[in-house]
Amino acid sequence: MQTRTASVQREAPSGAPALLSLRGIGKRFGAVEALKGIDLDVYPGEVVALLGDNGAGKSTLIKVIAGAHPPSGGSMTFGDQPVCQFDPRHARELGIETIYQDLALAENLDVSANIFLGREMRRSRIGLPVLDDARMRREAAQALDRLGIHIPDLGQAVGELSGGQRQAVAVARAVYWKAKLVIMDEPTAAVGVGEHEAILELITTLAASGVAVILITHTMADVWRVANRIVVLTRGGKALEGSPEELGEDAVVRSMLFGRQGKS
Ligand SMILES: Nc1ncnc2c1ncn2[C@@H]1O[C@H](COP(=O)(O)OP(=O)(O)OP(=O)(O)O)[C@@H](O)[C@H]1O
Ligand SMILES: [Mg+2]
């Protein structure tokens, strides 16, 4: 496979060290080699667009980072610490929040219950711990407000919200719990035009506050709007990496197509 990796790794404006570093990450599913020796550094406050054709290995890669799949080989460090334990709860404790397309929100619970799911606030009533719904609702409203998200009724079950509002709740949860890395798998795939815009703005807001974002998308225009860096996967390998400006859209699209046409 032809590999063209930009020679200069773009550093975040702060010059901070990499938040996430992958070295030689591989993943096999039986005979399928879904990931082949992936090296990747992600810096605080940057948006990395992870691109590639269907089956290129994008979701597998983020599942490794999020602790959902142990890698078959290679190493990962997060905040300078080696990661030896691959499970989703551990990843969340480290500050890695993943927003999958199905979002893993509890449909029948309301907005604040979703933001505090598994980490509920409690108060004491006649010496017994009970859920502090009023405080969670207040904190949830403030968290959404800080992100410029308007959801008219926070008591509404999440299952009744639109696709974009659900994304927004998931992002608010990540921000409230001080995620350092937010991974989004095709967040704009099933939302309307207005919500699409709102999600792009949320991504920019997240990055501006120092959170690193890995964004999987098939929408080139979004990449050019929000990404600092592009990584293209082709059949499990890294085919191209660099800033949108240095790569140009033609090279990126060609790199994705070569995988599909089997010419790489
Ligand atoms: N749990 C699994 N068991 C077996 N094979 C898998 C599993 N998950 C992924 N694969 C295989 O690994 C390869 C990469 O799949 P992956 O889902 O990472 O692709 P993708 O880039 O996310 O594609 P898409 O754009 O279609 O979402 C594919 O060949 C897929 O069939
Ligand atoms: Mg996928």
Q: Is residue 138 part of a domain?
A: no
DSSP state of 2: -
Show the tokens assigned to 131. 């859920």
User: Is residue 74's pLDDT more than 80?
Assistant: yes
Q: How far is the CA of 232 from the centre of ligand 2 (A)?
A: 13
Q: Is residue 89 part of a domain?
A: yes
Alpha helix ranges (H) inside 78-150: 88-94, 111-115, 133-146
Q: Is residue 83 part of a domain?
A: yes
Q: Is residue 234 part of a domain?
A: yes
Residue with tokens 């792009």: 200
Given 3-state DSSP classes, what are the helix, strand and coil percentages for the chain, each rounded to the nearest 5?
Answer: 35, 30, 40
Q: Is 231 exposed, middle or buried (0-12, 13-18, 19+ CB in 10 A)?
A: buried
Please, which pLDDT band fits residue 81 given cuts at 50, 70 and 90?
A: very high
* 59 close to ligand 1 (CB < 6 Angstrom): yes
Answer whether 255's CB lies under 8 Å from 19's CB: no
Please, which pLDDT band fits residue 102 given cuts at 50, 70 and 90?
A: low
Count the alpha carbons within 13 Å of 188 in the hemisphere toward its beta carbon: 22
Show the tokens assigned to 87. 């499970």
Which atom of ligand 1 lies at the shortest distance from residue 58's CA?
21
Choosing from 25, 27, 28, 32 the residue with most ligand 1 atoms within 8 A of its CB, the one to mutate for a pocket test is 32
What is the rounded CA–CA span in Å between residue 155 and residue 114? 11
Q: In total, how many domains does the chain have? A: 1
* 54 close to ligand 1 (CB < 6 Angstrom): yes
Q: Is residue 141 part of a domain?
A: no
Q: Which ligand is nearest to the CA of 32?
A: 1
C-alpha 198: how far from its chain's center?
16
Closest C-alpha among 164, 107, 172, 166 to residue 137? 172
Q: How far is the CA of 20 from the centre of ligand 2 (A)?
A: 20
What is the rounded CA–CA span in Å between residue 71 and residue 79? 19
Nearest CA to ligand 1 atom 12: 34
Region of residue 159 (phi > 0: left; psi between -120 and 50: alpha; otherwise: beta): alpha
Q: Is residue 1 part of a domain?
A: no
**pLDDT tens digits, residue range 163-198?**
778 878 888 888 888 899 999 988 877 777 777 888
Q: Is residue 128 part of a domain?
A: no
**pLDDT tens digits, residue range 223-252?**
999 999 999 999 999 999 999 999 999 999
What's 206's domain CATH number?
Answer: 3.40.50.300
Domain ranges, residue 64: 29-106+163-261
Q: Is residue 152 part of a domain?
A: no
* 189 close to ligand 1 (CB < 6 Angstrom): no
Q: What SS3 class is residue 149?
A: coil
Q: How far is the CA of 33 from the centre of ligand 1 (A)?
A: 10
* 217 close to ligand 1 (CB < 6 Angstrom): no
